Structure 1
Amino acid sequence: MPNNAIDSTREIRVFLSSTFKDMQVERDYLLKHVFPEVRERCTERGVGFTEIDLRWGVTEEEAKNGTTIAICLSEIDRCRGFPPFFIGFLGERYGWVPSREDLACYLERRDLNEYAAEIEMALESGISVTELEFQYALQGQRQDQIEALFYLRSPELTQALFQQSEAKQKSDFYDAADGRMDALKQRLRKSPLLEIDNYASIEVFGESIKDQLLAELARRYPQSESADPCSQLRRPHINFARTRLTCYVPLANARRDILDYCRKRLCMEEKRNCLIQGESGLGKSALIADLARYLPTQIEGAEVIDYYVGADGQRSIEQWRDELLVLLTGSQAKSVQDTKNAQEMDRWQFLEAQLHETSKSREGRTLILLLDALNQAVDVAVALHQLRQLSLPQGVILILSATPEVETNKEDVWTYPLGIPDITQLRDMIGAYTHNYRKALAPDLVERIAGASAATLPLYLRVVLEQLRVRAVHENLRQDLEALLQYASVGDLFQHLLETWDRDFCDSLHPKPVSRLAGLLAVSRVGLSEEQLGELMASETDPDDCQSGRPRLSRQLLSQLLAVLRPYLLRNAGREQLMHSALQSTVLNYCEEKSLRKILINGCASERDWSVTERIYQHSLLSLHEFKSGSKQGLVTELSLPENLKKCYRTDQGTLRLALQAIGAGESELNRHTEALVNGWLEKFSLSDDLALNREITSNLLDNSYLNVGVAWAEQILKSSKRACPAGHPSIIIDLVNLAVGYRALGRLAEAEIKSQEALEACRKSLPEGDLNIAVALSCMADIFRDQNRLNEAGPLYQEALAIYLKLLPVTHFRIAKTISDLAGFYISLKQFDSAEDLLQVTLTMLRKSLPEGHPDIARTLVSLAVAYLHSRRLSEAEASVLDALAIRRKTLPVGHPENAQCIKLLAETYRAQGRLDDADAMNSIALGVYSAALPEKHWKVQKIRSEILIRVIEPMSSSRTVGKYARLQSNVVARRKTLPEEHPGIADALFDLADEYNGDKLIKDAEPLYLEALSIYRKAFTKGDPSIGIRIAKVADFYINNGVFNKAEPLYLESLKVLNKNLPAGHPEILACIDHILTMYLRQVFLFFKSPLLAFKAGWAAVRVLFVCVVK
C-alpha cells in the first residue's frame, strides 16, 4: 500500500557563487564536465538536477544592480531545501562592492522587497555581493548537515589562469580590497564547510564537487528507493496535494457530509460512488487532498489512495487503473505480468478481482480511493463508462471529483455539489493566507476582498492575495487592491497579470517573455525543466550554451520570469508546471498555441525517450485540434521508427494512444496515414533483444482495438523472434498466439487458425507436457474454432486447456474462469445440459470456498448456470440462480450498473419462458433503460443489445412501431459496416437479423438480398467449413421453401447438410433438424403430383435417398 510520507520533491538544486571573470574557467568546467554526469545519474533515479548560475549570459556590468542581488538571494532561498544547496569558490579577487547610488533604482522600487533588509545591511557593512551571498547562505546552517561547500583556489593556479586569459587588466583577477579578501578567507578556513583550501587544478576542484553531489544523491535518494515502483508513482500526487493544502481552510460541512456518505457506503445503505462536483477553481482538488488526511482519522483502520489526474502528466483513466494495480500488488512486475501478457483478461476485471482480494486480506478495514479531476481525463465518456462498470467489494469506497460538464445519472453516483464559500469562510481563507506568510490586512480590506463577487472562487482569491503579498507596496495597498478587483474572473485577472509582466520584462529580443514561458508550460506534456526553458525561450542572438551549443536565455532573466510566476507553478522532479487547469486555459487563450507547440517540437530535438514522447504529444495535439493536417504526417514520421514508438510507450502510454487515435489507428481499414506507418515498420524494423517490450506493445495495441496496426506490429515482432530465437522457443510461441489473436479480432479466421495451429504444434514439440504455454495455445485455437462454430473441435481443446490450468493456477485465476465459461457454452451448444450444469456447480463450489460471497466471479458463474438451466427448461432453477446473481450484484453495484442489466435481461428471458409475459416486459424495459444510459450510443454491440431488447419489448402491432424496429436493426448494420472490416462475420450477423425481421413481416424482396449478402460474407470468412454456415444456409433454404421457391431451396439444403455432417458429431440436433427440413421439402413436392408427376417422382426418390443415407450413418 502507498506511503504518503515519502519525499515528493525529488530534486537536487545547487547555487553557484563566485566572483565574475576570474572564476569563469571553474564555471565552464562544472557546466561541461561535472554537471552533465551528475544530471545523468540523477535522471536514472528519477531526480531532477538544476544548477543556478546567475553569472551565465550576462556581463559583469549588467549584473551590477539591486534587482540582480535580490534575485541571487531569492535563488539561494529556493535552493535551501536541497543540500548541499550552495557552492562558493574564490580566487584572489574580492568582487564588486555596491554603493547606495548603484542600488538607488532597486531601493526606490524594491522588487523582491523581502530582501531589502539584507541588501541594506551589506551597504552599511561595505561588503561585496559575493561575501553577501556567502553570509546569506550560512544563515540557519544546521550542525548535523553540510548545506554549503566552499573552495579556495591556490595563488599559483590563479597566476597561471591569469596568464592564459585574455584579460587586459590585473584587477580582473586580483583585488585584495584593503584586506577584506584575506579576512573572508580566514573566516572560511575556520569553518568546517571549507572543502579544499588552495586547490591546485581545475580537475581536482571539479571532481571534488562531483563526488560531493553524487554522495548526497546516494544519501537522499538511495538506489533501492528509486527502484520502488510504489514510491515512484506516489511522489507527484503527494507533491500536488501538498500545494493544494497550503493555506487551506477545511470545509466542515463537506467533511461531515462525505464522512456520512462513507459510513452509509460501508453498511451498504448507499451503493453508488460519490462525485464531488463544482466549477473549476472552486477547490475540489484541495477538498480531495483534505479528505485524504481527514477520513483516516474518522474511520478506524482506513487507508487512502488519492490520485490527481494530470499531476504526473498522465491523463488516461487506464493510467489510474494500472497505477492502482501496482499499489495494490506492491509490484509493477507482477501487475505487468498478470495483465499485459494476457489478451483474454480484461484489466478492469483484473482490477476488480484485485480489489476483492485486497478487501479480503484487510479483514474489514476500509480502503478509500480518491480520484480527482475526472473532467481532465483524455476521454471522459470512456472513463465514466469504465468506472460505472467497476464492481467494488464492501469496504472499498470510490470518491470522484469533476466539473459540472461531466454528466452522470443520479442512479450511478451520489453527488455532493461543492458550493461557493460564504462570507465567513472567505474571511477564514484570507486569514489563513495572511497568517501563513506573517502578513496582516486591515479589517476593511479583508471585508472588501471577501465582498468582491469574483472572490467566491478560491482560485481568484488566491491570485489576488498572492499579488498583494509579492508586488504591492504598503503605501499603495488599497489602490493596488482595487486595480486587481476590477477584473471579474480569474481568467481576466491572470491575463492582465501576464500583460503587465510582459511589459516589465520585455526587450527587443524577447517581446512577451512571461506569457511565452507560461504558454510553453501550458502546452507541455508534463512540464519543463529550467534547462529546457532556457533553450526554448532563447532568441537566435542569445549566447550559445557551452553544453548544447544552442542559444540559451540568460539565467538572470529566466530567474526573474520564473519568480513572478512562482506562486502559480507546481514543481516536480525539477520540472515546472502551471498549477491549475483554469490558468492553463487562460494562457492558451492569450498565447498562440499552434506556434508554442511547434517550438516544443523543434526544441525537443534529441532522441531521448522524454524528447521523443514530447514531440509525439505535440504532433498529436496539433492533429486533433486541426491546426495543420501536416501534423499527422509528423506523427507518422515519428512513429514509423519502431524505436520511437517503444520510447513513447515506455514513457507515456496515454500519449501513444492519443497519437494512434489522431491518425485513425482504430478505424476498420488502414487509411493513408496508418498504411504509411505500417510500411515504415516494414522498412525500419530491426532485430531487437527487447522481445518482452515488443510483445507488451502488441498486447497493448490489440487491447485498445488498434487492430490493423496491432497485427502489423505483431507480424514484425514474430519475424524478429524467429530470427533471434531457436525454433520452438517460448517467445516464438507467444508471438504466434498474439498474432492469431489479432487475426481473430479482425475476422481473418483462416489466418488466425494457421498461426494458432503453428503455435500449438511448436508447443507440443518443444515444451514439456502440461506447460502453461500449451494451455494458452489450446485456448487460442479453441476460441477460433468456437468463432467458426466448429464446436466438436473446440470442446476437447477447452477441456485439455482447463486440465492444465487447474494443475498450475489457483482456482480463482481468470484463465480458469474464462475456460470454464467457454466449456460450459460448448456443452450448452451441444444440448449437453447436464455436463454444463455439473461443470458450473463444481466451479461454484470451488469459488465459494476460495472467495468472499459477494465476489463478482461467483455472480458470473451463477449467471452461466442460469443460462444452462434456461436452455434445459429447468425454469424454476434458472430463476433462482439469476436472482442469486442479481442479489450479489445489487449489494455492491448501483442500480444502473450494466452487470445488473445483464441479470435483469436474463431474468426477463426466464419469465418469458415461464409464460409470465407482463413480468418479462417489465424486466426488459428496465434492462433497456440501464443499457441506454451505460453504454456508448453508436457501438455496434450496443445497437445489437438495443435491437434485441426492442424486439422483445415492442411487438409489431402497428406500422409505425415496425418502422422503428427496422430503424434499430438498420442502424446496427450501418454501425458494424463502419467499425468492422468489410467481410467480417459480425456484419453478416446484423444482415441476418434485419432479413429475419423483413421475412417475418412478409417483405420478401427486402429480405432475400440481405440473406444472400450475409451468406457470401460467411463463405469468405470461414473457408474451411463451419457449422454456423450450415445452419444459416438451412435458414435461407427455409425462407425459400416458405415462399414456394423450391428450386433455390434444394441446393441450399444439400449444401447445409454437407457442412453440418463435416463439422458436427453424428446425431447432432442441427443435423437431424436439417434432414427433417429436407424430407419435408420433398414431401411437399410429392403432394404436387397431380400438377407435375415427374417432379413428384423425383422428389419421392430424393427423399428415399436421404433416408437411406441417414440410416447408414
Structure 2
Amino acid sequence: MTNYQKMLKDPSTLRIFFSSPFGGMEEEREELTRRYFPHINHICNSRGVQFVAVDMRWGITTESSASAQVINLCLKELDRSDMFIGFFGQRYGWHGVDDAALQENFDNATSAYPWVSSVRDKSVTELEFIHGHLNNPGSLPAYLCFRDKAYDAKICEEARKKGDKKMVFKYSPESDHAAELLDDLKHRCKDTESLTLGVDLCYKNPKEGAELMFKAIHQHLTKYLMISSVHVVQEDRQALAKSLHGAFLANKVKLYEGGDHYITQLMKNVDAEPPVPYLVTGPAGCGKSALVCNWLHKLMQNPAYSHCCVVHHFVGCARDSARIQSILTRVTEELEEKVEELKSGESNSHGDSKKEGSDDVRELMRKLSVVLDRLTSLGKQPVVVIDGLGNVKKSSKAEKAVYWLPTFPKQAVLVVSTKQSDEDIIDELKRRDFSVIDLPPLDLDTQRVICVNTLRMAGKELSPAQVDKVVQAKQTENALFMKIVLNELVSFGYFRLLDKKIDSLVSCQSVHDLFM
C-alpha cells in the first residue's frame, strides 16, 4: 500500500470521482447514492469536511458537448479529486477512432493532456481510469472493480425473451473488439493492485459492487484522512462536544452568498463601545445558521480580533445540546478553559465552573456570569453565540422564554438566533433591547449564484434554461429548500430525465414535501 498524501487538495472538501460507462451501471450508482453516500457524508461532516461525489453522468451541458469539451471536463474534474472509484459492467463506453465527434474531443484535450493523443482508440471511461490511476499508480487513492459477466448475461437473456432491445444493448459489449479492450484494461488494473485500495475483477451484482466500493472508501477515510470513530468515542465529553460544534460551523462556511452586509453589521458591533446583544431571525431554513457561522469564521480568522474569546453553541448538533443545563455548562466550561490558558498555570481561586454535580439553572447562570466577568477583567472580550434558541428543550409549558440567559457584561458580545415563528422568544429579547437582524428571502441574483456555484463544486452544470427553472420557483427563495433541491439534482442519475426531475422538485410546496 502506497503511503498516500494525507492532506486533501481542499482541506474543507473531500472529492471522490466515480467513473463508469453510462449504460448498464445505474443500479450501482443508485445503491451508492441512496445507501452509502449518507454514511460518507456523516463521516466527513463529523470532521467539518464536505463530501462531494463527482459523477459525470450529467453536468456536461449541451454547449460543452457541442464544443467537444467532454474529455477536457472529465479529466479536469479528476485533477480536482482526492479519490478515484472506477467500475465497469460489460459495456466499454464511448470509443472509436472513426467517431468524428469523439476524435474532436481528443483534439481539444491534447494541449492540456498530451498523452491522450496516443490512446485515441480508448473509451472516455478508460481515459478516466488512465488519468485517475494507471498513468501514475498510487498517486491517487483508487479502488477498481468489474462486474461478473454472468450477471450481465442473465439480464440480457431475460431482456431478449421480453424483446427489450434497449436492455440487451446496455448489458452487452459493443463489439468483440470492445470486449478485448475491456479485458486488457482489467489485466492492467490487476497488475497494479498493490498500489490501489483494491481491485475486484468479478463482483457478483450491483449491491455487492456498491458495498465493496463503500468499504474501500470507508477504510481509507478512517485510516488516512479522518480520525477513527473509535477514537472519537474515547474522547472526553467536552472535547467531543467541541469537535461536533466546530464541525457544524465548518460545514456552514463552504458556500455563502447574499449576507455580506449583515456580516459587516455584526463585525462593527464587536468594535462598538459598548456592543449590543443581537438576535438573528427569519423563517425556518432562511440561512440564519449560515450567516452566524460565516460571521464567526471571519471574526476568528482576523488577527485584529485576537483579543476575542469565542464560544459557539449550535442547539441540536450534538447529544444533549438542546438542554438548558448542557448549554450553560458547555459555554461556561469553554470560557473557563480560555481563562486557564490566560492564567498560564496560576492557581484557580475562582474555579466554580469546574465543580461537578450542579444541575441547578440559577447556579449555572451565576457561574457563567462569573467567568464572563473574569475574562473581561483580564482584558479579553467574550463572544458567545447560541444558534437555535427555539429548539431548546423546555421543562414546562409555563416556563418563561429564555429565562436562563443571563445579562452579559458591558464589553461582552452575545449573538443568538431563532425562527420567526418563536414569537415569545423574540418578544422577550426585544424587551431586553436586543438588536434584530430579520433575514429576508433569497433574491433572484443570490439564488442564481448559489445554484451555479453549488453544482460547480460537484462538477455539475445546468443549462441557463434549467437554472432559470430552479431559481424562478418561489420555494427556492428559502435557502434550505434550495439546498435540498440542488443535493437531489447532484445525486440524480438520468441526464435525459433531468428536466422532469427539476419540475417535480420545484413543484413541491415545502421542505417537508421534498421528502414525501
The TM-score range, normalised by the shorter chain, is 0.5 to 0.7
Aligned match of 2:241: 229
Q: TM (normalized to structure 2)?
A: 0.54
Q: 1:221 Cα deviation (Å)?
A: 3.8
The question of 1:147 aligning with 2:141 is answered yes
The question of 1:290 aligning with 2:293 is answered no
User: SS of the counterpart of 2:156?
Assistant: coil
Higher strand share: 2
User: SS of the counterpart of 2:255?
Assistant: helix
Q: 1:235 Cα deviation (Å)?
A: 1.5
Instruction: Pick one of 125, 129, 137 that aligns with 1:134.
Output: 129
1:961-980 paired onto structure 2 within 5 Å: none
What is the CA deviation profile of residues 1014-1037 of structure 1, one whole-angstrom value per residue up to 9, with x for unaligned ones?
xxxxxxxxxxxxxxxxxxxxxxxx
The question of 1:593 aligning with 2:503 is answered no
Aligned match of 2:408: 392
What is the CA deviation profile of residues 705-729 of structure 1, one whole-angstrom value per residue up to 9, with x for unaligned ones?
xxxxxxxxxxxxxxxxxxxxxxxxx
Aligned match of 2:218: 214
Aligned match of 1:356: 370
1:446-845 paired onto structure 2 within 5 Å: 462=446, 500-501=465-466, 515=473, 518=476, 522=480, 533=488, 554-556=493-495, 593=509, 597-598=512-513, 600=515, 603=516
Q: 1:137 Cα deviation (Å)?
A: 3.9
In the alignment, the residues of structure 2 paired with residue 281 and residue 40 of structure 1 have an alpha-carbon distance, to the nearest angstrom, of 25
1:43-54 paired onto structure 2 within 5 Å: none
Moved more, 273-282 or 319-328: 273-282
User: SS of the counterpart of 2:311?
Assistant: strand
Query: Do the aligned partners of residues 142 and 184 (structure 1) sit closer, same or farther apart at CA in structure 2, a change above 3 Å counting?
Result: closer
Instruction: Pick one of 285, 305, 309 that aligns with 1:303.
Output: 309
Amino acid corresponding to residue 501 of structure 1 in structure 2: Q
Q: 1:394 Cα deviation (Å)?
A: 7.2
Instruction: Pick one of 195, 199, 202 that aligns with 2:201.
Output: 199
1:110-189 paired onto structure 2 within 5 Å: 125=120, 127-135=122-130, 137=132, 146-151=140-145, 157-158=148-149, 160-161=150-151, 163-166=153-156, 172-173=172-173, 175-177=176-178, 181=182, 184=185, 188=189
Q: 1:43 Cα deviation (Å)?
A: 5.3
Which has the higher relative contact order, 1 or 2, with Cα contacts under 8 A spaced 6 or more apart? 2
In the alignment, the residues of structure 1 paired with residue 476 and residue 120 of structure 2 have an alpha-carbon distance, to the nearest angstrom, of 39
Maintained 8 Å contact 1:96/1:128: yes
CA radius of gyration, larger in: 1
Higher helix share: 1
What is the CA deviation profile of residues 1041-1070 of structure 1, one whole-angstrom value per residue up to 9, with x for unaligned ones?
xxxxxxxxxxxxxxxxxxxxxxxxxxxxxx
Q: 1:130 Cα deviation (Å)?
A: 1.0
Maintained 8 Å contact 2:245/2:313: no
Q: 1:128 Cα deviation (Å)?
A: 1.7
Amino acid corresponding to residue 311 of structure 2 in structure 1: I
User: SS of the counterpart of 2:143?
Assistant: strand
Q: 1:304 Cα deviation (Å)?
A: 1.2
In the alignment, the residues of structure 2 paired with residue 162 and residue 463 of structure 1 have an alpha-carbon distance, to the nearest angstrom, of 43
Maintained 8 Å contact 1:289/1:306: no
Amino acid corresponding to residue 593 of structure 1 in structure 2: Q
Q: Percent identity?
A: 14
What is the CA deviation profile of residues 132-168 of structure 1, one whole-angstrom value per residue up to 9, with x for unaligned ones?
333454599896x643222357xxx53x445534256
In the alignment, the residues of structure 2 paired with residue 87 and residue 190 of structure 1 have an alpha-carbon distance, to the nearest angstrom, of 17
Query: Do the aligned partners of residues 217 and 202 (structure 1) sit closer, same or farther apart at CA in structure 2, a change above 3 Å counting?
Result: same
Amino acid corresponding to residue 250 of structure 2 in structure 1: I
Amino acid corresponding to residue 392 of structure 1 in structure 2: F
Structure 2: 5+ residue stretches without partners? 1-7, 59-64, 161-167, 337-352, 456-461
Amino acid corresponding to residue 276 of structure 2 in structure 1: N
In the alignment, the residues of structure 2 paired with residue 213 and residue 205 of structure 1 have an alpha-carbon distance, to the nearest angstrom, of 13
Maintained 8 Å contact 1:94/1:175: no
Query: Do the aligned partners of residues 327 and 194 (structure 1) sit closer, same or farther apart at CA in structure 2, a change above 3 Å counting?
Result: same
Q: 1:553 Cα deviation (Å)?
A: 6.0
In the alignment, the residues of structure 1 paired with residue 479 and residue 228 of structure 2 have an alpha-carbon distance, to the nearest angstrom, of 30
User: SS of the counterpart of 1:176?
Assistant: helix
Q: TM (normalized to structure 1)?
A: 0.29
Maintained 8 Å contact 1:372/1:401: yes
Aligned match of 1:97: 95
Maintained 8 Å contact 2:315/2:388: yes
Maintained 8 Å contact 1:34/1:207: no
Aligned match of 1:273: 276
What is the CA deviation profile of residues 386-427 of structure 1, one whole-angstrom value per residue up to 9, with x for unaligned ones?
389613357743246899997899995586999xxxxxxxxx
Aligned match of 1:241: 253
Query: Do the aligned partners of residues 215 and 258 (structure 1) sit closer, same or farther apart at CA in structure 2, a change above 3 Å counting?
Result: same
In the alignment, the residues of structure 2 paired with residue 139 and residue 407 of structure 1 have an alpha-carbon distance, to the nearest angstrom, of 64
Query: Do the aligned partners of residues 8 and 401 (structure 1) sit closer, same or farther apart at CA in structure 2, a change above 3 Å counting?
Result: farther
Query: Do the aligned partners of residues 320 and 72 (structure 1) sit closer, same or farther apart at CA in structure 2, a change above 3 Å counting?
Result: farther
In the alignment, the residues of structure 1 paired with residue 432 and residue 145 of structure 2 have an alpha-carbon distance, to the nearest angstrom, of 65
Query: Do the aligned partners of residues 253 and 130 (structure 1) sit closer, same or farther apart at CA in structure 2, a change above 3 Å counting?
Result: closer
Maintained 8 Å contact 2:389/2:418: yes
Maintained 8 Å contact 1:303/1:367: yes
Query: Do the aligned partners of residues 164 and 119 (structure 1) sit closer, same or farther apart at CA in structure 2, a change above 3 Å counting?
Result: farther
What is the CA deviation profile of residues 283-328 of structure 1, one whole-angstrom value per residue up to 9, with x for unaligned ones?
965545422333x64444x321246789x699xx967984463354
User: SS of the counterpart of 1:172?
Assistant: coil
What is the CA deviation profile of residues 979-1028 of structure 1, one whole-angstrom value per residue up to 9, with x for unaligned ones?
xxxxxxxxxxxxxxxxxxxxxxxxxxxxxxxxxxxxxxxxxxxxxxxxxx
Instruction: Pick one of 371, 379, 382 that aligns with 2:385.
Output: 371
What is the CA deviation profile of residues 524-574 of structure 1, one whole-angstrom value per residue up to 9, with x for unaligned ones?
9x95895xx48xx9xxxxxxxxxxxxxx96454788899x9xxxxxxxxxx
Maintained 8 Å contact 1:146/1:193: no
Aligned match of 1:821: none
User: SS of the counterpart of 1:386?
Assistant: coil
Query: Do the aligned partners of residues 556 and 299 (structure 1) sit closer, same or farther apart at CA in structure 2, a change above 3 Å counting?
Result: same
Query: Do the aligned partners of residues 252 and 599 (structure 1) sit closer, same or farther apart at CA in structure 2, a change above 3 Å counting?
Result: closer
Query: Do the aligned partners of residues 366 and 140 (structure 1) sit closer, same or farther apart at CA in structure 2, a change above 3 Å counting?
Result: farther
User: SS of the counterpart of 1:166?
Assistant: helix
In the alignment, the residues of structure 1 paired with residue 372 and residue 475 of structure 2 have an alpha-carbon distance, to the nearest angstrom, of 45
What is the CA deviation profile of residues 656-700 of structure 1, one whole-angstrom value per residue up to 9, with x for unaligned ones?
xxxxxxxxxxxxxxxxxxxxxxxxxxxxxxxxxxxxxxxxxxxxx
Query: Do the aligned partners of residues 414 and 199 (structure 1) sit closer, same or farther apart at CA in structure 2, a change above 3 Å counting?
Result: closer
Query: Do the aligned partners of residues 45 and 133 (structure 1) sit closer, same or farther apart at CA in structure 2, a change above 3 Å counting?
Result: closer
What is the CA deviation profile of residues 506-529 of structure 1, one whole-angstrom value per residue up to 9, with x for unaligned ones?
xxxxxx8994995998469x9589
Aligned match of 1:325: 329
Query: Do the aligned partners of residues 118 and 376 (structure 1) sit closer, same or farther apart at CA in structure 2, a change above 3 Å counting?
Result: farther
What is the CA deviation profile of residues 93-114 of structure 1, one whole-angstrom value per residue up to 9, with x for unaligned ones?
532227455899x9xxxxxxx9
1:1027-1066 paired onto structure 2 within 5 Å: none
Query: Do the aligned partners of residues 75 and 385 (structure 1) sit closer, same or farther apart at CA in structure 2, a change above 3 Å counting?
Result: farther
User: SS of the counterpart of 1:96?
Assistant: coil
Structure 1: 5+ residue stretches without partners? 1-5, 57-64, 107-113, 265-269, 419-456, 472-496, 505-511, 538-551, 565-587, 604-1113
In the alignment, the residues of structure 1 paired with residue 431 and residue 478 of structure 2 have an alpha-carbon distance, to the nearest angstrom, of 42
Maintained 8 Å contact 2:21/2:92: yes
Query: Do the aligned partners of residues 20 and 389 (structure 1) sit closer, same or farther apart at CA in structure 2, a change above 3 Å counting?
Result: closer
Maintained 8 Å contact 1:15/1:76: no
In the alignment, the residues of structure 2 paired with residue 238 and residue 229 of structure 1 have an alpha-carbon distance, to the nearest angstrom, of 14
Amino acid corresponding to residue 225 of structure 1 in structure 2: V
1:62-77 paired onto structure 2 within 5 Å: 77=77
Query: Do the aligned partners of residues 39 and 165 (structure 1) sit closer, same or farther apart at CA in structure 2, a change above 3 Å counting?
Result: same
Q: 1:88 Cα deviation (Å)?
A: 1.0
Amino acid corresponding to residue 21 of structure 2 in structure 1: T
In the alignment, the residues of structure 2 paired with residue 140 and residue 163 of structure 1 have an alpha-carbon distance, to the nearest angstrom, of 32
In the alignment, the residues of structure 1 paired with residue 467 and residue 474 of structure 2 have an alpha-carbon distance, to the nearest angstrom, of 9
